[in-house]
Structure 1
Amino acid sequence: MTTAIDLFAGLGGWSRGARNAGVRVLWAANHWPVAVEWHSANHPDTQHVCQDLHQARWEQVPAHDLLLASPCCQGHSKARGKKSGNPQHDASRSTAWAVVSALEFHRPAAALVENVPEFTDWALYPAWLAAVRALGYQVAPHVVDCADLGVPQHRVRLFLVLTRSKAPLMLELHQRQHVPAASFLDFDAGNWSPIDKPGRAAATLARVANGRERFGDRFIMPYYGAGSGLTGRCTSRPIGTITTLDRWALVRGDEMRMLSADEALAAQTFPADTLRPKQHRLTMHMAGNAVPPLAGQRVIEALMAAA
């Protein structure tokens, strides 16, 4: 059986996808104790470490065939903005160097690195790429909308395929039929509140009015930001990107509610039995940062088929 390690493991999107693809995840790490706690709960057979991977002792990490990594994306994402000289963003971007350190020590056959497409705009990306290549790896970038892999969510992400091959390995990722948001939304559950109530923002009321005009009495809409513009979207298509905050609202007649944590996890393709914190905010944070397990599974399966 193929073995793997999972860097910046979070709630375990890569690990769940790997397991579904028949890969055994031997070791997983994250710097946040809450993430390690819940990754451990869902993957009890995996060895866990809670640490800053800049200080990782790679000799203590088991040998593996495949390295999986999702370095922090906040310093690259347009959604959070990025300013030169921002120490927080500089620190988050630098997490990608842990991938190089791990590759240098263990030299696995392959690695898969997931991030936002803006990762390649990072000023140090050419240096990072040169370091990976100096270790004997070819790098094949794939920009993928996870909806095309069967995830019920439009989520455009970069998957870098690193292989010890003579040429970059471009994967054959078959486009799947899009899965509608209706597959996981429950309009008969949740805590609803009147749309027309004191304090409701004018921008929200405008989105509701425009959404009703286009989609009728039931639809989803972005509660903040540009999202799907001012009109929201119908439930017969995938939802927009799940973020770490409460972004999506459901409208039902004269009522509305925010997307539940369970619905957010379902939109990410985590199974219903996934163990998670009781706190909505913590679950949304981890869900928004995760690799959709189904997307991870499809990419891993394509890599194994091509190897």
Structure 2
Amino acid sequence: MIDLRTPQSRRCRRVFVHDQAPDVTDLFAGLGGASTGLAEAGYRIRLAMNHDRIQVAAHQANHPDTVHLVEDINAYDKRSLPRTRILWGSPICTEISPAGGRRRNRGQLTLDGHTPGKFERTRATALDIIAATEVHRYDVILCENVVEFALDWALFDWWLSGMEILGYNFQIVCASSAHLGGGDNLLAPQHRDRLYIVFTRKGIPLPDLEVRPEAVCPGCGPVRARQVWRNPRRRKIGKWGVQYDYRCPNRECGHLILDPTVRPISEVIDWDRPGTRIGDGRPDRKVFTPYAESTRARVAAGLEKFGHAPHVAVLRRNTSPVAVTEAVPAVSAQGKHHALIVPNGRKGAVRTAAEPLTTVACKPHHSLVRPAPTVDDCTLRMLTPRELASAQRFPADYVLPDSSQEDQILGVGNAVSVNAARWLGERVLAVLA
């Protein structure tokens, strides 16, 4: 059920018995990809909490056996949380996320993880994680955030030190959602660089968190690539292709730099959905409104680069078109940005495309374009919330918010990629057994 009473009226009325089951308190973000991934890994999601009634209702529809609370987590009395073995927290990251389009100033976050100014307090902050841990002393705490959380917050090391004082070891993992998984844990067809921090109570063995994605070496064949940092003297925090690469583990080839094998974005596209001709203007306007010149320029750039081959145009900032045989940029919570471009009359050809999506945002950014010799003759449609949810590796039957498309995309873009949460959960479970 969703408990909408105040903390004061509810306090101490619900008693949770702490047992040996791998149970979880999830201070979740978005639609709750962390809960879904951990449930797939074999955990029991005991309590899920978020400030957004719409997202909580959707989470409750997908996890009916979990207790749900609609609360301002920052103001919630942490003593009222259940005693579970695991805590998952996705501290608020809007202020430092690159998807926000804001200039970041190192050291400008306040103690509660916010920047001074107009930002609305929403989900958990970094200090809520440490406050809950001080009370409940979980076996394991899992945190997810953008990479900038560690690079731009001046108190990041202080925060880690606080967890160490409470009796925890920590491990930091930087990886893209496109590279975490394998087997029946399908990859997310989306490049989404994220920072994961795993705190384990001292005395518990450290889980194996080495990222070893599948790749094909031209000299050695299929391998499990190794994450190698470009500057070994600096802290291992950063993004793929910028601060680190993946290399072949074998000496015979000289440890070649490899691109991990990714899942094609074409797998989650509904190719039967029609688009509209760009020359006919935007379909969401009552009067003829041409597409913005920036949109037309991105479509033109894609046509010039890929011709009639399928590709994705990313309608935000300084982005380049991406072939559908690659991972697409991250889906954010800020809107639709991704436009899939497919030649007219070639629906069958794109079914073999092999690229993931870019980061899923919280607003519509992804669109589908069917190209033709000219920009005006191409057809375009934005990717649907269902397609974006699939790019986050949510199951096909996952219930989306029963409200506006904006709420659906907000939940998708703010969520943790399901495969990433499962990947972490499986490795932690191995040391808890």
TM-superposed CA distance for 1:216, in Å, is 3.4
In the other structure, the counterpart of 1:50 is 70
Partner amino acid, structure 2, of 1:234: V
**Aligned equivalent of 1:289, options 410, 414, 428:** 414
In the other structure, the counterpart of 1:95 is 125
TM-superposed CA distance for 1:44, in Å, is 1.0
Give yes or no for contact 1:110–1:161 (8 Å, CA) kept in 2: yes
In the other structure, the counterpart of 2:172 is 141
Give yes or no for contact 2:141–2:198 (8 Å, CA) kept in 1: yes
Give yes or no for contact 1:75–1:92 (8 Å, CA) kept in 2: no
Q: After the TM superposition, which of the residue ranges 239-248 and 52-61 deviates more from structure 2? A: 52-61
Give yes or no for contact 1:69–1:112 (8 Å, CA) kept in 2: yes
Give yes or no for contact 1:111–1:163 (8 Å, CA) kept in 2: yes
What's the secondary structure of 2:316's corresponding residue?
A: coil
Partner amino acid, structure 1, of 2:313: M
Give yes or no for contact 1:76–1:93 (8 Å, CA) kept in 2: no
**Aligned equivalent of 1:105, options 132, 135, 138:** 135
Question: Across the two proteins, how many residue pairs are aligned to each other?
Answer: 304
**Aligned equivalent of 2:273, options 181, 189, 192:** 189
What's the secondary structure of 2:210's corresponding residue?
A: coil
TM-superposed CA distance for 1:274, in Å, is 1.1
Q: Residues 127 and 92 (structure 1 numbering): CA distance in 2 closer, same or farther, change over 3 Å? A: farther
What's the secondary structure of 1:74's corresponding residue?
A: coil
**Counterpart Cα distance in 2 of 1:57 and 1:117:** 29
Q: Residues 88 and 109 (structure 1 numbering): CA distance in 2 closer, same or farther, change over 3 Å? A: farther
Q: Does 1:206 align with 2:226?
A: no
TM-superposed CA distance for 1:93, in Å, is 9.4
Q: Does 1:157 align with 2:194?
A: yes
Give yes or no for contact 2:41–2:422 (8 Å, CA) kept in 1: yes
Partner amino acid, structure 2, of 1:247: H
Q: Does 1:18 align with 2:38?
A: yes
Q: Does 1:252 align with 2:370?
A: yes
Q: Does 1:180 align with 2:264?
A: yes
Give yes or no for contact 1:9–1:15 (8 Å, CA) kept in 2: no
Q: Residues 90 and 129 (structure 1 numbering): CA distance in 2 closer, same or farther, change over 3 Å? A: farther
**Counterpart Cα distance in 2 of 1:5 and 1:40:** 14
Q: Residues 299 and 88 (structure 1 numbering): CA distance in 2 closer, same or farther, change over 3 Å? A: farther
TM-superposed CA distance for 1:246, in Å, is 1.3
Q: Does 1:132 align with 2:169?
A: no
**Aligned equivalent of 2:323, options 219, 228, 233:** 233
Q: Does 1:75 align with 2:95?
A: yes
TM-superposed CA distance for 1:168, in Å, is 6.3
**Counterpart Cα distance in 1 of 2:36 and 2:323:** 29
TM-superposed CA distance for 1:89, in Å, is 4.7
In the other structure, the counterpart of 2:6 is none
Partner amino acid, structure 2, of 1:56: Y
**Counterpart Cα distance in 1 of 2:267 and 2:198:** 31
Give yes or no for contact 1:75–1:90 (8 Å, CA) kept in 2: no
TM-superposed CA distance for 1:9, in Å, is 4.2
List per-residue Cα deviations over 1:85-126 (Å, max 9, x = no partner).
533459569711111111111111111100000111212212
**Counterpart Cα distance in 2 of 1:175 and 1:92:** 34
Partner amino acid, structure 2, of 1:300: G
Q: Residues 94 and 106 (structure 1 numbering): CA distance in 2 closer, same or farther, change over 3 Å? A: closer
**TM-score, L = length of structure 2:** 0.66
**Counterpart Cα distance in 2 of 1:153 and 1:58:** 35
Give yes or no for contact 1:207–1:232 (8 Å, CA) kept in 2: no
CA RMSD in angstroms comes to 2.1
Identity %: 35
TM-superposed CA distance for 1:136, in Å, is 0.8
Q: Does 1:122 align with 2:206?
A: no
**Aligned equivalent of 1:224, options 284, 309, 316:** 316
Give yes or no for contact 2:73–2:123 (8 Å, CA) kept in 1: no
**Aligned equivalent of 2:385, options 251, 261, 269:** 261
Unaligned runs of 5+ in 1: none
In the other structure, the counterpart of 2:249 is none
What's the secondary structure of 1:6's corresponding residue?
A: strand
Partner amino acid, structure 2, of 1:226: N
Q: After the TM superposition, which of the residue ranges 251-260 and 193-202 deviates more from structure 2? A: 193-202
List per-residue Cα deviations over 1:236-275 (Å, max 9, x = no partner).
2111111111112221131001111100000001111111
In the other structure, the counterpart of 1:30 is 50
TM-superposed CA distance for 1:14, in Å, is 0.6
Which of the two has greater strand per residue? Answer: 2
**Counterpart Cα distance in 2 of 1:75 and 1:251:** 32
Q: Residues 51 and 30 (structure 1 numbering): CA distance in 2 closer, same or farther, change over 3 Å? A: same
**TM-score, L = length of structure 1:** 0.92
What's the secondary structure of 2:357's corresponding residue?
A: coil
Give yes or no for contact 1:68–1:112 (8 Å, CA) kept in 2: yes
Which of the two has greater helix per residue? Answer: 1
Partner amino acid, structure 2, of 1:200: Y
Q: Residues 88 and 23 (structure 1 numbering): CA distance in 2 closer, same or farther, change over 3 Å? A: farther
TM-superposed CA distance for 1:78, in Å, is 2.3
